Amino acid sequence: MEKEKQIETAIDIETIKERIYLIRGGKVMLDMDLAVLYGTSTKVLKQSVKRNIERFPDDFMFKFTKEELDNWRSQFVTSNSRLKLGLRIEPLAFTEQGIAMLSSVLNSQRAIQINIQIIRIFTKLRRMVDTYKELREKVEEMEKNNETNFREIFRVIRLLIKEDKKPKNKIGFKV
């Protein structure tokens, strides 16, 4: 029975990833998106947060400034009707920690399962960023230590790219 509930509340990873935004230098999700994922209304979600506001310090959740809201609206005027809806008032943006805290405020089984999925995705994204950062640092270190070798490698790569662009002789009969 519990497996059925997990399958029932499972949401595609891409659906969650497309609702994660980079705002104020951090990854956040908006109240309206979280409400849809949790199967509730934005109003109910905001009321629950308001009743438990002490659980949501500034590093867990913040409200858009007027300037951020105007900028957000202007970015999505024509492209995405989903994002234009519900933007009459400043949305709440939840960080990873704020999303985790929502599971204690919204006690539904669906909210708990969705929160688990969201936190897993945030963790995967963090790992990916760390991996790329480590890789970049290693390449930069190698470049500093072996500058001449890298120049030679890049020279050969450029030659290969140029050779690839040269027209090739066609196979078959010439008329």
Q: What is the dihedral of CA 37, 39, 41, 46, to 10 degrees?
A: -60
Residue bearing the bigger pLDDT, 120 or 166: 120
Q: Is residue 33 part of a domain?
A: yes
Which segments of the chain are extended strands (E)? 20-23, 26-30, 61-63, 92-94
Report CA-CA distances (Å) from 167 to 158, 162, 170.
16, 10, 9
- If phi over 0 gives left and psi between -120 and 50 gives alpha, with beta otherwise, what is residue 94? beta
User: Facing residues of 26 across strands?
Assistant: 23
Count of domains for the chain: 1
Q: Is residue 147 part of a domain?
A: no
| Percentage with pLDDT > 90 across the chain | 19
In angstroms, the CA 80 to CA 83 distance is 6
Residue bearing the bigger pLDDT, 63 or 171: 63
- Give the range of the structural domain holding residue 95, as residue numbers without chain letter: 2-132
Q: Helix, strand or coil for residue 62?
A: strand
Q: Is residue 171 part of a domain?
A: no
Residue bearing the bigger pLDDT, 172 or 32: 32
pLDDT of 7: 37
Q: What is the dihedral of CA 88, 118, 127, 20, to 10 degrees?
A: -20
Quick: pLDDT tens for 148-161: 666 777 777 777 77
pTM above 0.85, yes or no: no
Q: Is residue 24 part of a domain?
A: yes
Q: Is residue 96 part of a domain?
A: yes
Q: Is residue 94 part of a domain?
A: yes
